[in-house]
Amino acid sequence: MANTKSAEKAARQAVKHRGANVALRSRLRTAIRKSVDTSAAGKKDEAIAAFKDAQPVIDAMVNKGLIHRNKAARHKSRLNAKVKAAAAKG
């Protein structure tokens, strides 16, 4: 239990922030999963579109401090490689 007023406020804010972060993280994972799934299915045009939709979502999470910029770069690089592989197939 919080001992001071400021600690009580920090605890309230932490609950709010956690709720927001859960929603943002879900949005990030959904965008990544959609891109991965369309690439795996070999749907070239849909994979490219999903990747283009995922990129700004990933960048937004970096700007919000949800993920590190290196992790974002790693995600984008891997997604791009999968999209290129899907495009090469068909």
In the predicted structure, residue 5 carries a pLDDT above the cut 90: yes
What local confidence, expressed as pLDDT, does residue 49 receive? 96
pLDDT digits (tens, 9 = 90+) for 14-59: 999 999 999 999 999 999 999 999 999 988 999 999 999 999 999 9
Separation CA 83–CA 50 (nearest Å):
9
pLDDT digits (tens, 9 = 90+) for 73-85: 999 999 999 999 9
- CATH superfamily of domain region 5-89: Ribosomal protein S20 (1.20.58.110)
In the predicted structure, residue 11 carries a pLDDT above the cut 70: yes
Q: Where are the alpha helices (DSSP H) in the chain?
A: 5-40, 44-63, 69-89
